[in-house]
Amino acid sequence: MAINFSTERKLLISFSQAGLADIVLLLLIFFLLTSNFIPQFGIQVTLPRTQAASPTAGQFVSVAVTANGTFYVEQQQVPREQLIPAIQDVLGGRTALVLRADENALVKHMADVANAARALNLRVLMATDQRGGPN
């Protein structure tokens, strides 16, 4: 009787991937289930729609801002540096300002109008489109 005492070992050529597939499937299920509990960053706001009529033009000072940053006070084009004097000229006892800004206008331009209104102690109202709906 011959006993084989050789130290030579054969390499494992076949590898079963069934266990690996199970682990991947379990990880996928885990991440899908826990992803719903991750808090969403940012504030999502749906703006309300109103059916109220627009105020009469004589009650407010009208300031418009176009998409390219051009300012208009009561239909007259005004440079940004002259907003406060231009609003003072047409104020006439009114206590509020209506800002009509293009939807593509920069927030910086709207902030310039708000700062001018604050300097003159005026309330700022933002004009919106009543027909506008969710995109």
The string of pLDDT tens digits covering residues 33-66 is 776 554 544 434 333 455 555 555 568 888 888 8
Q: What is the pLDDT of residues 83-115, one digit of tens each?
A: 999 999 998 888 888 888 887 888 899 899 999
Fold of the 57-126 domain: Nucleotidyltransferase; domain 5 (3.30.420)
What is the C-alpha to C-alpha distance for residues 8 and 5, in angstroms, rounded to an integer? 9
What is the C-alpha to C-alpha distance for residues 31 and 41, in angstroms, rounded to an integer? 18
What is the C-alpha to C-alpha distance for residues 134 and 132, in angstroms, rounded to an integer? 7
* Residue 97 near residue 60, CB atoms below 8 Å: yes
Q: What is the pLDDT of residues 122-135, one digit of tens each?
A: 988 887 766 555 55
Choose among 99, 37, 42, 106: nearest CA to 72: 99
State residue 68's pLDDT score.
Answer: 87
Find the radius of gyration of the CA atoms of the chain. 34
Domain boundaries of the chain, sorted by first residue: 57-126
Burial of 114 (0-12, 13-18, 19+ CB in 10 A): middle
- Neighbour tally for 74: CB within 10 Å: 14
pLDDT at 2 over 80: no
SS3 56: coil
Q: What is the pLDDT of residues 62-78, one digit of tens each?
A: 888 888 888 999 888 89
